[in-house]
């Protein structure tokens, strides 16, 4: 049995090594380095593994022009079959992005799964999966750790919840937001780009659709960023404690008790 | 009169604490506070809602709603929002609320924001506050246009408040929209027996602990310090410790005076749960582990030798 999977991908600000003041003097966030959203990369890997195992196709979709990383091309280099970009020249809110993606997904046509990433907190809000599923009328599951069974017409997933997890079966097509938690040497670790595909697809055209081409007149903005203020940073002064010195450990215990 | 609708989460332990915080916040915003309970056998939860500031409690009871699942529950919530026409709908920033609110917003094409840590009135609208970028900035959002605004709220938005009680209960005759919606096959959750939130000392163990036997070492250290054991998702998944002790994004948020992180790398999903720890001690064999960026004391070493030494020194 083969499955048609759509993976929705993007690049995000890399907040891993933020140091210093987050805002410039103008009160605007300083530009940060960007990377392929790691959660989306995990979702892509899940899709590719299903294709490797069961056959079918993987289509990738993104909204907006590439910044530092061309995520769509990176997907092609890893084995995605087709890529589409939705172009816009505005900064959209999540609802508007979901409307564009829903229209693009309808244009792509029949599919079994739509995969997205569940974002990490603190800086990105994981709204899109729901906003998209609501517009498409598909079943939805978020905080998905793994797909435990995929058979024609239905998927079973393990979903992370407070105090444990649950196993949920959904009819297809379904929208899944994956927060894949990788263990050491996890077989779900994303594959690297393949040099051969890079050579072959470096210049491959990626079709672009504008909102108008998707039949949308422009979605109203419902949520506007009205301001940013820097938060006082907790200054952690780190003291090194020599693990091999009993005296140092004893001093530590005196300090902290 | 502005109406604020609060979706309440409840489980076998009753209405969740986050839900009661949302009720308290709604009360502080002024207006008519309505609570919504969806599920089965809701009588006890109704009483709790009435005793925490709900002027009205709307209930939707249906056998297929007994186990939370986004599709059917959101079809009911969307119908209630359409019928009651609230200006603001509050949910919890949990794996239920962050799942339900965006889907409901998608159905209604309404404004939505998740993970807010504050809501204020701003004229006829709202100012929604959210901490972003690894707690470096506070962002303020302004909903635009007409229609309800759906928000999920993080732990700590308000103090839970008991009120005089009274108020009406309005059972709504709604059932989930038809069609194939799926099924919760089973849940593997543990019963809550510890209160990590109020623990003064927590010894946290991660994948680096390596085994259940080594975890027993951490338990001894915690015992000597009069503290509790906490864990990362990795050690919960490994089966060394119960899920109720998971700290972080999908676990609990803690604020101990002392947090000793043993064999924990310091992934953002874990760090969000220990942000308010007063003093952090990191024990990790990798000198560049991210946990050291938030550690007041940095012990680079093998925990299987460091922890026994600490226990010994504590006598
Ligand atoms: C949607 C989602 C939600 C999540 N929610 C949570 C959550 O709520 N809580 C949570 O904790 N995680 C959560 N995670 C997982 C999180 O991303 C990390 O994977 C997890 O926190 C890592 O756990 P760890 O630090 O124990 O393991 P690792 O990252 O594997 O780190 C182990 C550390 O131990 C050190 N070590 C190894 N051996 C020794 C030794 N002998 N002595 C000393 N140090 C040693 C290593 O150097 C390493 O730094 C979530 C993930 C996702 C995708
Ligand atoms: N501009 C975009 N283009 C494509 N996918 C996106 C875009 N924005 C968000 N997504 C997808 O939606 C997920 C959650 O995004 P967010 O709700 O913005 O945190 C991401 O992990 C992506 O899979």
State pLDDT tens for residues B121-177.
998 899 999 998 777 889 999 999 989 999 999 999 999 999 887 789 999 999 888
pLDDT at A124 over 60: no
CA distance B268 to chain A (A): 7
Q: Using CA positions, which residue lies closest to atom 7 of ligand 2?
A: A10
pLDDT-derived band at B180 (thresholds 50, 70, 90) equals low
**Chain B: residue nearest A165 by CA?**
B188
pLDDT of A146 reads 95
Q: Which residue segments constitute the domains of chain A, with CATH numbers given? A: 3-223 (3.40.50.620)
Q: From the CA of A191, how far away is ligand 1's center (Å)? A: 21
Q: Does the pLDDT value for residue A120 go beyond 80?
A: no
Q: Would you say residue A125 has pLDDT above 90?
A: no
Cα nearest neighbour of A128 on chain B: B102
Q: pLDDT-based confidence at A24, cuts 50/70/90? A: confident
What is the distance between the alpha carbons of residues A195 and A74, in angstroms, rounded to a whole number?
11
pLDDT class of A123 with cuts at 50, 70, 90: low
Residue A95 beta carbon below 6 angstroms from any ligand 2 atom = no
CA A57 to each of CA A85, A106, B314: distance values in angstroms, whole numbers, following the listed order = 17, 16, 60
Give the torsion through C-alpha atoms of B250, B252, B258, B260, to 10 deg: -40
Is the pLDDT assigned to residue A121 strictly greater than 60? no
| Beta pairing class for A3-8 and A113-117 | parallel
Mean predicted confidence (pLDDT) in B58-62: 96
Atom of ligand 2 nearest to the CA of A86: 3
Q: Which domains, and CATH codes, for chain B?
A: 3-171 (3.40.50.620), 196-313 (3.40.50.1220)
pLDDT higher at A123 or B165: B165
Pairing between β-strand A11-13 and β-strand A34-36 as defined by DSSP bridges: antiparallel
What is the tens place of the pLDDT at every residue in B255-274?
999 999 999 999 888 998 99
What are A230-248's pLDDT values in tens digits?
888 777 899 999 999 999 9
Contacts 24+ apart (CB under 8 A), B180-183: B180/A139, B180/A171, B181/A139, B181/A170, B181/A171, B181/B69, B181/B71, B181/B72, B182/A139, B182/A141, B182/A168, B182/A169, B182/A170, B182/A171, B182/A174, B182/B69, B182/B71, B183/A168, B183/A169, B183/B69
B202 near A CB under 8 A = no
Q: What is the pLDDT of residues B79-117, one digit of tens each?
A: 999 999 999 999 999 999 999 999 999 999 999 999 999
Counting atoms of ligand 1 from 1, which one is nearest the CA of B266? 25
Tell which wins on pLDDT, B188 or A25.
B188
pLDDT value at residue A19? 61
Q: What is the ipTM of this complex?
A: 0.92
Of B131, B141, B296, the CB nearest to A226: B141
CB contacts, 8 Å: B281 with chain A: 241, 252, 256
A196-213 per-position pLDDT tens digit: 999 999 999 999 999 999
Q: What percent of chain A has pLDDT over 70?
A: 95
Query: Model confidence over B5-50: pLDDT tens digits?
Result: 999 999 888 999 999 999 999 999 998 999 999 999 999 999 999 9
Write down the pLDDT at residue B289: 93
Ligand 2 center–CA A97 separation, angstroms: 9
What token pair was written down for A41? 């990369």
Ligand 1: centre distance to CA B271 (Å): 10
B274-301 residue pLDDT tens: 989 999 999 999 999 999 989 999 999 9
| Interchain contact, B138 vs A231, CB within 8 Å | yes
The predicted pLDDT at position A133 comes to: 96
Cα A79 to middle of ligand 2, angstroms: 20
pLDDT in tens, A11-21: 987 776 656 66
Give the number of the ligand closest to the Cα of residue A65.
Answer: 2
Q: Please name which ligand lies nearest the alpha carbon of B241.
A: 1
Res. A170: pLDDT tops 70: yes
């Amino acid at each position: 049995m083969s499955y048609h999977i759509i993976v929705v991908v993007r690049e995000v600000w890399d907040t891993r090594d933020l140091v210093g003041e987050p805002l410039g003097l103008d009160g605007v966030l300083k530009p940060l380095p960007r990377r392929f959203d790691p959660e989306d990369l995990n979702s892509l890997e899940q899709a590719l593994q299903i294709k490797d195992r069961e056959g079918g196709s993987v289509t990738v979709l993104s909204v907006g022009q590439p910044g530092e990383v061309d995520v769509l091309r990176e997907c092609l280099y890893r084995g995605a079959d087709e890529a589409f970009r939705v172009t816009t020249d505005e900064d959209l809110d999540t609802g508007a992005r979901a409307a564009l993606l829903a229209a693009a997904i309808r244009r792509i046509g029949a599919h079994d799964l739509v995969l997205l990433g569940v974002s990490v907190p603190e800086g990105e809000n994981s709204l899109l999966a729901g906003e998209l599923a609501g517009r498409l009328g598909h079943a939805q599951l978020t905080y998905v750790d793994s797909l435990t069974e995929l058979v024609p017409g239905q998927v079973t997933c393990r979903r992370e919840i407070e105090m444990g997890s649950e196993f949920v079966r959904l009819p297809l097509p379904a929208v899944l937001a994956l927060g894949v938690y990788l263990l050491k040497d996890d077989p779900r670790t994303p594959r690297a780009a393949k040099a051969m595909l890079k050579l072959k697809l470096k210049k491959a055209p990626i079709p672009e659709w504008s909102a108008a081409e998707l039949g949308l007149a422009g979605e109203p903005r419902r949520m506007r960023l009205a301001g940013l203020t820097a938060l006082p940073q907790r200054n952690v002064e780190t003291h090194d404690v020599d693990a091999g010195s009993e005296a140092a450990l004893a001093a530590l215990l005196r300090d902290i008790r | 009169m502005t109406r604020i609708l609060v979706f309440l989460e409840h489980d076998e332990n009753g209405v969740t604490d986050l839900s009661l915080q949302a009720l308290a916040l709604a009360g502080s915003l002024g207006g008519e506070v309505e609570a919504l309970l969806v599920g089965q056998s809701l009588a006890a939860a109704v009483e709790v809602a009435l005793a925490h500031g709900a002027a009205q409690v709307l209930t939707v009871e249906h056998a297929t709603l007994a186990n939370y699942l986004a599709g059917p529950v959101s079809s009911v919530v969307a119908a209630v929002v359409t019928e009651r026409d609230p200006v603001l709908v509050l949910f919890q920033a949990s794996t239920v609320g962050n799942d339900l609110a965006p889907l409901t917003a998608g159905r209604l094409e309404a404004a939505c924001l998740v993970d807010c840590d504050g809501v204020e009135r701003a004229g006829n609208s709202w100012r929604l506050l959210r901490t972003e970028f690894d707690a470096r900035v506070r962002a303020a959002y302004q909903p635009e246009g007409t229609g309800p605004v759906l928000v999920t709220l993080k732990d700590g938005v308000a103090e839970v408040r008991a009120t005089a009680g009274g108020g009406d209960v309005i059972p709504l005759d709604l059932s989930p929209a038809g069609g194939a919606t799926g099924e919760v096959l089973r849940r593997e959750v543990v019963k809550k027996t510890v209160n990590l939130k109020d623990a003064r000392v927590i010894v946290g163990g991660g994948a680096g602990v390596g085994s259940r036997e080594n975890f027993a070492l951490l338990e001894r250290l915690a015992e000597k310090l009069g503290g509790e054991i906490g864990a990362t998702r990795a050690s919960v998944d490994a089966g060394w410790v119960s899920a109720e002790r998971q700290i972080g994004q999908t676990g609990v948020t803690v604020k101990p005076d002392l947090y000793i992180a043993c064999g924990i790398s310091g992934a953002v999903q874990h760090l969000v749960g220990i942000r308010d720890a007063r003093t952090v001690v990191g024990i990790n064999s990798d000198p560049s582990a991210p946990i050291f960026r938030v550690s007041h004391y940095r012990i680079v070493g093998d925990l299987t030798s460091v922890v026994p030494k600490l226990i010994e020194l504590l006598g």
